[in-house]
Amino acid sequence: MKPLDLAGQKFNRLTAINSAGRDKRGILWRCICECGTEVIVRGSNLPNGNVKSCGCLLRDFGKRKLIDISGRTFGRLKVIKHAGKKGNATIWLCVCDCDGREVLVQAGNLQNGHTKSCGCLAMESLKERSLTHGHSHSPAYKSWSMMKNRCLNPNATQFEYYGALGITVCERWKDFAKFLEDVGERPQGTTLGRFGDIGNYEPGNVKWMTPAEQGANFHPDRNKGPKPHAKVTMFKVCHIRWHVNRGIHKPECVLCQAA
């Protein structure tokens, strides 16, 4: 089969001049690049685009205009200045919000969100997971989980007496570590209660309460206290809560009087 005559044809930046013999893999062509450099290229690499220049195209690509991102913030990292290249990657010097630690980060990792800190975010996340995992079977964790469930989960059995009535959990306490920091471990024989059994679950409005404290808390008139030997069922307790959460006390209510 007669080889193709490529003389005079242009392939990207290369123009074939004449045949330059052959090697084990095919015919070679002497080409001249737009930049003026002559190169020998295997003929098959010209039509398929494997070779587009004498090498200047790659060099020009490496010299393309740098996008200046100095001064911008990505996560906790603020970009300080350009710090050179590593292979084809552009490197930037950044400072982290945590303690001013400086780190070198690839531009691509900043822009795609892969790197957001000097490593402190990953350490904090690991610490938080460790804390939660270590307390996942503790009394405090169980109370925290039940608190969130009855206030935030519409499918929870007690949601109608809490979340449906507008009782919620403050944003800070949706994080178990912060909840534990504010209220401490749950003492034996106590449960989580709100003062007056009203308001949201938030700092300053809750404490670990004994059954006696919880019983007194359920009563709409705390000054009178519960009647001796009164049998308070869960239904009555929920009914009382309905009054208390609305700031309403009806002396004529049989259930309130019974409690």
**In angstroms, what CA-CA distances link 209 with 44, 94, 170, 237, 256?**
84, 49, 20, 16, 22
* Long-range CB contacts for residues 236-244, cutoff 8 Å, separation at least 24: 238/161, 241/161, 241/197, 242/161, 242/165, 244/196, 244/197, 244/198, 244/218, 244/220
Q: Quote the CA–CA distance of 34 and 16 in Å, as a whole number.
A: 11
Q: Quote the CA–CA distance of 62 and 92 in Å, as a whole number.
A: 16
Burial class (CB in 10 A: 0-12, 13-18, 19+), 225: exposed
What was the pLDDT predicted at 227? 39
Going by their DSSP bridges, the two strands 26-33 and 38-42 should be labelled as: antiparallel
Edge-to-edge strand ranges of the sheet holding 26-33: 10-11, 14-23, 26-33, 38-42
Neighbouring residues of 253: CB distance < 8 A, sequence distance ≥ 6: 239, 243
What was the pLDDT predicted at 136? 67
CB 9 within 8 A of CB 31: no
What was the pLDDT predicted at 217? 73
| 226: nearest Cα among 248, 258, 196, 198 | 258
What was the pLDDT predicted at 67? 81
What was the pLDDT predicted at 117? 93
List the beta bridge partners of residue 81: 93
What was the pLDDT predicted at 219? 46
Which amino acid is present at 207? K
Q: Quote the CA–CA distance of 236 and 218 in Å, as a whole number.
A: 9
What was the pLDDT predicted at 231? 41
What was the pLDDT predicted at 200? 93
Per-position pLDDT tens, the chain of length 259: 567 888 899 999 999 999 998 888 889 999 999 888 999 999 888 988 889 899 888 777 655 667 889 999 999 999 999 998 887 788 999 999 988 899 999 998 998 989 999 988 888 776 666 555 556 678 998 999 999 999 999 998 889 989 999 999 999 999 888 898 899 999 999 999 998 888 899 999 999 999 888 887 764 543 333 333 334 445 555 555 555 555 554 444 544 444 4
Element (H, E) at 132: helix 120-135
Phi, psi of 95 (to 5 degrees): -120, 135
